[in-house]
Amino acid sequence: DTAVSQTPKYLVTQMGNDKSIKCEQNLGHDTMYWYKQDSKKFLKIMFSYNNKELIINETVPNRFSPKSPDKAHLNLHINSLELGDSAVYFCASSQDGWGFGGTEAFFGQGTRLTVV
Amino acid sequence: KQEVTQIPAALSVPEGENLVLNCSFTDSAIYNLQWFRQDPGKGLTSLLLIQSSQREQTSGRLNASLDKSSGRSTLYIAASQPGDSATYLCSIIQGAQKLVFGQGTRLTINP
């Protein structure tokens, strides 16, 4: 009964390919996020969605397109993959994304993307 | 722009010692602060959440404090164990659904 689950866990692909990473949360949260952790282990937000609506797009190239079919899912599609896209991508969710009250964020296990 | 800094970047201590990890942030207009641990190759596990109106939170051997006015938080780990070895991440929760992370402190507890 994993709270936030991502698939796949590992993804190796060639430059120029298009790939997707799926994320699902069973916590009933309203807000979901995508974070990128680079080779220096620095975590940085990419997107956040609240009830299927995009709230944050943190200057991410438009090759990255999140899709939220419902508030329990936030998938990340990446077009024309580049070497620099290699990183670990984390999905997360929280109940009250506006930050009022006890907003606690829960993270998935990460997807390690390697572009060769 | 919020910046979060964690000191030290790495720490190695013998088992049984008490230790403190530090986190500082530049913008005191925060909602909450959340501490996580990350094990190698794994995701983030939430440890403690401190709301902006609180000064500390405790969970077992962990105690986190928050001083908004000085832009600081500390994570205190009592009686450290080898299983505490991990990277500890401090994150600031600001408005508009955004966590801003420090670069982490890599902690090693030696048996």
Residue A104: its chain B contacts at CB < 8 A? 34, 46, 49
pLDDT reported for residue B34: 92
Q: Do the chains contact at A99 and B31, CB–CB below 8 Å?
A: yes
Contacts of A98 in chain B (CB under 8 A): 95-97
Confidence of residue B82 (pLDDT cuts 50, 70, 90): very high
Strand locations in chain A, DSSP E?
A: 4-7, 10-13, 19-25, 31-37, 43-50, 53-57, 64-70, 73-78, 87-94, 106-107, 111-115
Q: How far apart are CA B85 and CA B37, in angstroms?
A: 9
CA distances from B95 to A15, A40, A55, A88 (A): 36, 26, 11, 25
Average pLDDT over residues A53-79: 90
The residue assigned the tokens 């939430």 is: B46
Contacts of A100 in chain B (CB under 8 A): 31
Q: What mean pLDDT is reported for chain A?
A: 89
Contact B97 A31 (CB under 8 A): yes
Band of the pLDDT at A101, cuts 50, 70, 90?
very low
Distance CA B2, CA A18 (A): 33
Q: What is the mean pLDDT of chain B?
A: 92
Interface check A69 vs B, CB under 8 A: no
Q: A37, A90 in Cβ contact below 8 A?
A: yes
Whether A113 shows a pLDDT value over 70: the answer reads yes
Of B93, B103, B104, the CB nearest to A103: B93
pLDDT at A83 over 50: yes
Note the pLDDT of residue A4.
94
Q: How many percent of chain B have pLDDT more than 90?
A: 74
Q: Which two tokens stand for residue B95?
A: 């408005």
How far is the C-alpha of B106 from the C-alpha of B102, rounded, in Å?
Answer: 12
**Do residues A56 and A64 touch, judged by C-beta distance below 8 A?**
no
The most confident of the ranges A49-53, A99-103, B10-14 is: B10-14
Per the listing, tokens 């070895």 go with: B85
Q: Are A95 and A8 in contact (CB under 8 A)?
A: no
Of the residues B36, B97, B99, the best mutation for testing chain A's interface (the one with the most A CB atoms within 10 Å of its CB) is B97
Residue B37 CA, chain-centre distance (Å), reads 8
Distance CA A1, CA B47 (A): 19
- What number is the average pLDDT over the span B83-98? 86
Which residues in chain B have Cβ-Cβ distances shorter than 8 Å to A109? 42-43
Q: What is the mean pLDDT of residues B26-46?
A: 88
Selected residues 75-104 of chain B with any CB under 8 Å from a CB in chain A: 87, 89, 91, 93-101, 103-104
pLDDT digit string, tens, across residues A25-38: 999 998 899 999 98
Nearest 5 degrees, angle CA A18-CA A20-CA A23? 170
**Between β-strands A4-7 and A19-25, what pairing exists: parallel, antiparallel or unpaired?**
antiparallel
When mean pLDDT is compared across A10-24, A102-116, B71-85, B90-104, the lowest value belongs to B90-104
Tokens standing for A77? Answer: 């599609």
Question: Comparing A49-53, A88-92, B10-14, B86-90, which segment has the lowest mean pLDDT?
Answer: A49-53
Does residue A106 sit at the B interface (CB-CB below 8 Å)? yes
Q: Which of A18, A31, A53 is nearest to A103 (CA)?
A: A31
B110 contacts chain A (CB < 8 A): no
φ, ψ for residue B83 (rounded to 5)? -70, -10
